Every structure is written in C-alpha cells, then in structure tokens.
C-alpha cells in the first residue's frame, strides 16, 4: 500500500510527515533535518540548489536565490501585495502575458509554482529515500485565506514535482486534525499561527466531520524573525554603549551574535534568565574583548511585547468583527484554541492567548510540525480506504506467573499482538525444594491473589539443591486463536510439564474493562503491598545468606558472629509483620554486619574466594 505524503509547504520552511502503522511520523530530509528551507537557487557555478544548500549561498548570490515564493504563487503581478513584496525581495520579477508573475533565476524565468515544485521534488526524493519506497501522492497545505487561483497554483506545483495531489488542505484545518478536533461536534476553534515570517489567525467551525473556515486574519509580515531582529538590535546597542565598539561592521561577530541571540530567545522560553557569552568577539588596542551579557525573560518580553500585543489584537478582531472581516462571534463562543508555529513556545504568547480566551490552548504537538502532522493524518484517512488484509488480535489482559511472596510476575503484557511466546527462567525459593508450582494468572494487579487463576500445575522431581540453583524455564505461548500453552522445564533433568488454557480471551468486554478499572483503582495500595513483599523477599534472602556465612565460616570472631545473629533474629521477628520500612531498615543493618564477616575473611586469607549468592 503506497503511502501518501503530508506536506506543510511554508513561506520560509517546509515539513513533511506520513502515517505509518496508524501513527504520524515526521520525516527528516537528506540532511537529517525535520524542516527544509523553502529556498531554491541557481549557484554561480550554474548548479541548482534546493533547501539548506541554497540558503548557504544566499548572502553572496541574493539575486539568484529564491525564497518566500509562497507570497507570489497564484497571484497577479499587479496585486498590491506583490507590488509591496517586490520592493523587499532581492530577486527580479516580471509580468507574464497573462498578468501573472515570473521570477528570474540565473538565465531563465520561472513561475512561482515551478520554484515551489523544486522544493516539493526535493522533499519527495528525500521521503522516498527515507522510507525506501516510491511516493506518488501528496496532501499539501495552504493558508486558509488562499483563493482559488493560489490553491490551483499550489496544486500545480505538486503535479510538476511528480505528485498526484490528493488534496489541498487548509493549514488551520490540518492543525485541528492533528489534535483530533475534527471529531468534535459544533465547536468553534481558533488557530493562532505565529510562524517565522507570517502571522495567521483562523476561526474554524467543526461539525459532522466537516471543518468550515469562518474567518481569517493576520499579518503577512509579522513573525519570529522580527523578534530575532529586535533582540539583535538591542544587543548590538548595549555592547556599543558599554564598550564603545560597533560590532555591526564585523560580519563574523554579527553572525555569532545572531546565533547566540536565537539560542537565548529559545532558552528564555524555559528559564527566567540566560547568559550570552561570546569570548573573543573582537579586539582593540588593549587586547581581546569578550561579549558577556545577562538577558532576562522580562527584558525579552519588553522588547517584543508590541509584536505580541499586535497579534492578540488581530485575533480579537478576527473573532469579533462582523463578517466578512471577522467571524462575528464573541470571544466566549470559542471552544478550543490551537497554537502553531515555533514562536508560540514563548510563555508570554501562551499566557496572552490563554488570557484572551480564558482557556488553556492546545500545544502538545511540536508547533513547528503540527501542520505537517495534520496533513499526514488527512493522507492517512485518504489511504485508509484500502482495507487491512490481516487483522491481528491482541491479548486484552496481562498473563503472569506467581512468584515468591505471592507476587504476580508478568510474562505477557496486555495488548501484545498474538501469536506470541515468552520464556523466562525461574528458580526455587527454598533449599532442597523438590517441586515447583506453576500458577498461571490473568490480570493487571501486582499481587497474585488479586488476579484470576487460569491454571495451576506442579513440576516435580527437582533434584535436591540449595535455593536459587535449579533453573526452571517457563514458557507462555499464545497461538493465533488465543489459546495459551504454559510449559515448565527443569533444565537440569529436562523434565517438563505443561498445561493448555483455552479461555484466555473469552472474557467479555465488560469484564475486561472492569478488571482494568479495578487495577487502576487499587494502584497505590497494590504498589505498597508489592513493596512490602519485595522488602520481605530481600530480607529473607539476607537472613539465609547470613546463616550460610556463619555456617561456612566457623572461625569468625565471636563479637561479629553475635552481632550478625542478633541482627538476623531481629529481621526474622519483623518478617512476621507488614511494615516494609522497618523490615528494610533491619535488613540494611544486617547487611552491614554481614559485610564485616566478608572483610574479616578477606583480611585473613585473600586467596580464598567466596561465591554463590542466593536468588529468590
């Protein structure tokens, strides 16, 4: 079954994802990055570059490095926006006979959709290399405000790149899909998308598996880059004030400062204060100079506060203004808010959005990837019309075996796909134990007594040996029909016993649910019980080890011997009770005393080694 690629074709960066085994997965490009710059270039050596490589030569080849074509795709040359953008774009534009836009790259002129196609083609090739299979189809996202011609041109870009474009999806709708909000009924959703270079806000209405765009707004020239620029300006200004040196003229210093400023901005999303340290940033007559500055979150917020306030105002307008400018709703009508775009990691943005709507925004999915994830989910829905050939069952509850102290030790965890088998080696709990009982359990509780018994059988004929020595191999095997076979094998004698349990999946749905709920309800109490048992098992093993040590080392000093005996007696006494902490403390003391025997032995004769540890 061929996969359909979900693509977020962005103004500055693009991302892609597929659904694999029912789960969306963001794909890295050939360079190993989860986003690809939406940049294409014709290098001076007449080589076509796409993505990161194109970006890396932009400084020396700006007129042939084409970015932000999303601002031009499907538009008329005479559009006010195109004329406006033309002033700041470093490459040359011209009007086609049909009134559209063409871009000069190297010697040739290209339509914006051809440029976008080059980005899409790289993503297609990278995705194919990553997945090791051909990809023919794609879902591509566009801003909700894109008109028909912009959508058509985006679709054509996909087709030029070799895709069959299954759907052109609105970006905010993709974000809502990523959060599973398409399943809601009659809900109003606001998507706040603060990207690198654009700010979009959309109001959606979901109902009956349809998503309708009620209103869109935003500012095509407001983004995270503005934050970086204003922060850079501040840092350069501060340094000049303090040191009297203008770093702006030093391209390396500017480059280093830019990286450090971006990192500081990111860091301040999780900390209140950060340091920007750039040793040897420059030098003067007195020697090398360093850039050392503390930056607080409050300062950053002060610097970018106006940008955020502007975005919040735009959100308010888009929601409350009467149609067609806005959705004509009250802020209180909004049921869900989604944050998209890397800049929304900033706590101040999250707080202000939360404050505006009085509710917690959705932000669990990486905001740089949420649109691509949504596109992949849409693709998954489209590819879902092919039915899965083989339906595999799972075990609804865990299967376990009872071990020392009445503990249920899981062999096969719940929700394991069957058929499956699992083998584990157990041992005896007592010296010269002639047989072991295999108690097969079903359920989620940690103690055997609280779970359902499926079967019990005994493997006997275990040769006499100290506890922990015999190796009993227990295998749980569930076949495709849910029939469980449990086998116990004594590895020394090769003697084995087995039992067949037919009814492992015959539990009704209600019963399974009940058992799971019961497990959840008893979690704390059960854990405590298990802790007690674990402490007891450890203490018992220690007492056993102590007695063994005293037996095998009759020459131990009298005071050490008495100390160990007393401590062991205390542990034994406490074992009758249920206080895990007391037992653990007494066991610790015994353990310390025991070490003294060891020390003494080693001091006496260092050559004789002491072996064997009993395992419960």
Whole-angstrom CA distances from 312 to 218, 349, 365 are: 10, 9, 22
> Which part of the chain contacts another protein (CB under 8 A), choosing from 56-64, 69-77, 84-92, 342-350?
56-64
* CA 129 centroid distance within chain: 23
Q: Of 280, 355, 435, 514, which one interacts with another protein (CB under 8 A)?
A: 280
Catalytic residue, from 85, 113, 150, 171: name it: 171
The span from the CA of 20 to the CA of 3, in Å, is: 8
Residues 6+ apart with CB under 8 A from 609: none
43 binds another protein (CB under 8 A): yes
Is 81 one of the binding residues for another protein (CB under 8 A)? no
Output 292 or 331, the one with its CB closest to another protein. Answer: 292
Residue of 83, 209, 255, 615 interacting with another protein (CB under 8 A): 255
Beta bridge partners of 193: 200, 340
Name which of 274, 467, 479 is nearest 395 in CA terms: 479
Angle of helix 251-267 versus helix 224-243 axis, rounded to 10: 120
Among positions 42, 49, 533, 584, the unique one binding another protein when judged by CB under 8 A: 49
Write down the H helix ranges in 44-183.
Answer: 52-55, 80-88, 112-131, 148-160, 171-178
How far apart are CB 474 and another protein at their closest, in Å? 24
Q: Could you give the CA distance from residue 492 to residue 145 in angstroms, rounded to a whole number?
A: 75
**Binding of another protein by 285 (CB under 8 A):** no
Q: Which stretch binds another protein (CB under 8 A): 54-62, 239-247, 448-456, 514-522?
A: 54-62
Rounded CA separation 46/42 (Å): 6
Count of residues near another protein by CB under 8 A: 27
Site string for another protein, 214-253 (x = CB under 8 A): -------------------------------------xx-
- DSSP lists the bridge partners of residue 76 as 100
Q: Draw the binding track, 486-515, toward another protein (x: CB under 8 A; -: no contact).
A: ------------------------------
Which of 76, 86, 184, 256 forms a contact with another protein (CB under 8 A)? 256
CA distances from 90 to 44, 62, 224 (A): 16, 6, 20
| Residue 288 in the binding site for another protein (CB under 8 A) | yes
Q: How far is the CB of 49 from another protein (least distance, A)?
A: 6
Q: How many CA atoms lie within 13 A of 403 on its CB side?
A: 21
Tell which positions 414-433 bind another protein, by CB under 8 A: none
Report the C-alpha gap between 427 and 292 in whole angstroms.
63
**Residue of 46, 210, 241, 279 that binds another protein (CB under 8 A):** 279
Kindly tell me which of 279 and 611 has the beta carbon lying closer to another protein: 279
Q: How far is the CB of 420 from another protein (least distance, A)?
A: 11
Shorter beta-carbon distance to another protein: residue 31 or 360: 31
Q: Write down the least CB distance from residue 162 to another protein, Å.
A: 23
Determine the Cα–Cα distance for residues 77 and 405; give it in Å rounded to an integer: 81
Query: Using the rule CB under 8 A, is 44 a contact of another protein?
Result: yes
Contact 315/202 with Cβ under 8 angstroms? no
217's tokens: 């707004």
Q: Does residue 386 interact with another protein by CB under 8 A?
A: no
Closer residue to another protein, CB minimum distance, 391 or 520: 391
Closer CB to another protein, 56 or 359, in the complex: 56
- Of the residues 45, 186, 555, 603, which one makes contact with another protein according to CB under 8 A: 45
Strands (E), 177-306: 187-194, 199-207, 210-219, 273-284, 287-296
Establish if 286 lies at the interface with another protein (CB under 8 A). no
Q: Is 22 in the site for another protein (CB under 8 A)?
A: no
Structure tokens at 267: 């860091």
460 belongs to the catalytic site: no
The 3-state DSSP composition of the chain as helix, strand, coil percent (nearest 5) reads 40, 25, 35
Q: Does 31 bind another protein (CB under 8 A)?
A: yes
Closest distance of CB 197 from another protein, Å: 20
Regarding 389 and contact with another protein (CB under 8 A), the answer is yes
- Identity of the residue, 260 or 535, whose beta carbon is nearer to another protein in the bound complex: 260
Lookup: tokens for 7: 């693509």
Residue burial 573-609, b: 16+ Cβ < 10 Å; e: rest: ebbeeeebeebbbbbebbbebbebbeeebeeeeeeee
Determine if 180 is a binding residue for another protein (CB under 8 A). Answer: no
Interacting residue with another protein among 390, 551, 554, 559 (CB under 8 A)? 390
Binding of another protein by 66 (CB under 8 A) = no
Is position 79 annotated as part of the catalytic site? no
DSSP letter, residue 62: G
**Residue with smaller CB distance to another protein, 50 or 545:** 50
Peptide bond preceding 130: is omega within 30 degrees of 0, i.e. cis? no
Binding test (CB under 8 A) with another protein, winner from 15, 16, 54, 438: 54
Specify the residue, 65 or 427, whose C-beta has the smaller distance to another protein: 65
Catalytic residue at 46? Answer: no
Contact between 56 and another protein per CB under 8 A: yes
Residue from 85, 126, 187, 193 carrying the catalytic annotation = 193
| Residue 171 among the catalytic residues | yes
Tell me: does residue 61 bind another protein (CB under 8 A): yes
Choosing from 3, 55, 70, 124, the catalytic residue is: 70
Closest CB 280 distance from another protein, rounded Å? 4
Q: Which stretch binds another protein (CB under 8 A): 48-56, 87-95, 265-273, 398-406?
A: 48-56
CA dist., res. 475 & res. 555, Å (int): 45
Report how far apart, in Å, the C-alpha atoms of 23 and of each of 216, 378, 379 are: 30, 12, 12
Question: What is the C-alpha separation between 294 and 238, in angstroms, rounded?
Answer: 11
Q: How far apart are CA 141 and CA 371, in angstroms?
A: 8
Contact 157, 7 (CB under 8 A): no
Q: Quick one: tokens of 329?
A: 């709703």
CB of 32 to another protein, least distance (A): 5
* Residue 285 Cβ vs another protein, minimum distance, rounded to whole Å: 15
- In this complex, which beta carbon is closest to another protein, that of residue 249 or of residue 494? 249
Give the integer Cα–Cα distance in Å for 616 and 52.
Answer: 58
Binding site for another protein (CB under 8 A): 31-32, 43-45, 49, 53-54, 56-57, 59-61, 251-252, 255-256, 259-260, 277-280, 287-288, 389-390
Active site residues: 8, 70, 171, 193
């Amino acid at each position: 079954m061929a996969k359909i690629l979900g693509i977020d074709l962005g103004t500055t960066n693009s991302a892609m994802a597929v659904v694999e085994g029912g789960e969306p997965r963001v794909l890295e490009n050939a360079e190993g990055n989860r986003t690809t710059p939406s940049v294409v270039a014709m290098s001076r050596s007449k080589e076509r570059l796409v993505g990161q490589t194109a970006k890396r030569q932009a400084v020396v080849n700006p007129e042939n490095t084409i970015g932000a074509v999303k601002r031009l795709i499907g538009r008329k040359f005479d559009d006010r926006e195109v004329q406006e953008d033309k002033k700041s774009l470093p490459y040359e534009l011209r009007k086609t006979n049909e009134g559209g836009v063409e871009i000069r790259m190297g010697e040739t002129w290209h339509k914006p959709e051809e440029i976008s196609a080059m980005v899409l083609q790289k993503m297609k090739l990278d995705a194919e290399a990553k997945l090791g299979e051909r990809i023919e189809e794609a879902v591509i996202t566009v801003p909700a405000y894109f008109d028909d011609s912009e959508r058509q041109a985006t679709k054509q870009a996909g087709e030029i790149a070799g895709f069959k474009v299954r759907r052109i999806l609105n970006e905010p709708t993709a974000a809502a899909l990523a959060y599973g909000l398409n399943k809601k009924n009659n809900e109003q959703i606001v998507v706040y998308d603060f990207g690198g270079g654009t700010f979009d806000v959309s109001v959606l209405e979901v109902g009956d598996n349809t998503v309708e765009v009620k209103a869109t707004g935003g500012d095509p020239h407001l983004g995270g880059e503005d934050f970086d620029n204003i922060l850079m300006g501040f840092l350069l200004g501060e340094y000049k004030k303090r040191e009297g040196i203008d770093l702006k003229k030093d391209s390396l210093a500017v480059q280093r400062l830019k990286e450090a400023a971006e990192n500081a901005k990111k860091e301040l999303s999780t900390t209140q204060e950060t340091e920007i340290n750039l040793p040897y940033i420059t030098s003067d007559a007195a020697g090398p100079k360093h850039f050392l500055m503390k930056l607080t979150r409050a300062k950053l917020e002060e610097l970018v506060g106006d940008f955020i306030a502007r975005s919040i105002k735009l959100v308010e307008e888009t929601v409350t203004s009467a149609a067609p400018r806005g959705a004509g709703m009250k802020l209180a009508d909004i049921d869900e808010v989604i944050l998209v775009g890397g800049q929304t990691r900033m706590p101040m943005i999250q707080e202000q959005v939360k404050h505006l709507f009085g509710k917690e925004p959705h932000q669990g999915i990486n905001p740089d990837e949420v649109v691509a994830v949504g596109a992949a989910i849409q693709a998954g829905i489209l590819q879902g019309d092919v039915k899965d050939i083989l339906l595999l069952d799972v075990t609804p509850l865990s299967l376990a075996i009872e071990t020392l102290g009445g503990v249920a030790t899981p062999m096969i965890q719940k929700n394991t796909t069957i058929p499956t088998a699992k083998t584990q080696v157990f041992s005896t709990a007592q010296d010269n134990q002639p047989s072991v009982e295999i108690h097969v359990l079903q359920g989620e509780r940690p103690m055997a007594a609280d779970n359902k018994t499926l079967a019990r059988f005994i493997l006997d004929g275990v040769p006499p040996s100290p506890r922990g020595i015999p190796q009993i191999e227990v295998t749980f095997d569930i076949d495709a029909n849910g029939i469980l076979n449990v086998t116990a094998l004594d590895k020394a004698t090769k003697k084995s016993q087995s039992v067949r349990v037919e009814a492992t999946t015959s539990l009704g749905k209600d019963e399974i649910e009940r058992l799971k709920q019961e497990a959840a309800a008893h979690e704390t109490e059960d854990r405590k019980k298990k802790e007690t048992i674990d402490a007891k098992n450890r203490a018992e093993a220690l007492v056993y080890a102590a007695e063994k040590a005293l037996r095998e080392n009759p020459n131990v000093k009298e005071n050490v011997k008495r100390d160990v005996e007393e401590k062991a007696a205390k542990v034994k006494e406490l074992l009758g009770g249920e206080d895990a902490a007391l037992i653990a403390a007494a066991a610790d003391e015994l353990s310390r005393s025991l070490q003294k025997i060891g020390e003494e032995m080693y001091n006496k004769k260092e050559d004789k080694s002491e072996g064997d540890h009993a395992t419960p």
